[in-house]
């Protein structure tokens, strides 16, 4: 967020708040990525730039944001999806370890 222009950062914050507040979020702002088990994509467009924040659900009401990037191609880069999957596995491993 710190590297974004101020107006773009405000739009990202607005979209994240929208996702937090709505029971059903329009797919233009959030969707599950095809071909993944549990990785979602927060979608932000500001001017001609497309920003994405990958995430997963830790439970019914907690969304864990993994990483954000500027999308430059039609498809979400496989390397970004793999990073999000690795972060999810690490999060779940550490979370389970705390309950044992």
Please answer whether residues 41 and 56 qualify as being in contact, where contact means their C-beta atoms are separated by less than 8 angstroms.
Answer: no
Q: What is the mean pLDDT of the chain?
A: 90
**For the whole model, what pTM was predicted?**
0.86
Q: Looking at the predicted structure, is the pLDDT value of residue 78 above 90?
A: yes
Mean pLDDT of 3-18: 93
Residue from 11, 56, 16 nearest 32 by CA: 56
**81 neighbors 39 (Cβ within 8 angstroms):** yes
Identify the band that residue 99 occupies on the pLDDT scale cut at 50, 70 and 90: low
| Per-residue pLDDT tens digits for 15-35 | 999 988 998 889 999 999 998
Place of tokens 């999806």: 81
Whether 15 contacts 44, CB under 8 Å: yes
């Amino acid at each position: 967020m710190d590297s974004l222009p101020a107006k773009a950062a405000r739009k990202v914050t607005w979209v994240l708040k929208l996702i937090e507040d709505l029971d059903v979020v329009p797919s233009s702002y959030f969707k599950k990525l095809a071909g993944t088990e549990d990785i979602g994509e927060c979608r932000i467009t500001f001017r001609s730039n497309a920003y994405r924040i990958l995430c997963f659900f830790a439970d019914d009401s907690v969304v864990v944001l993994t990483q954000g990037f500027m999308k430059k191609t039609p498809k979400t880069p496989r390397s970004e999806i793999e990073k999000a999957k690795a972060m999810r596995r690490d999060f779940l491993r550490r979370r389970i370890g705390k309950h044992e």
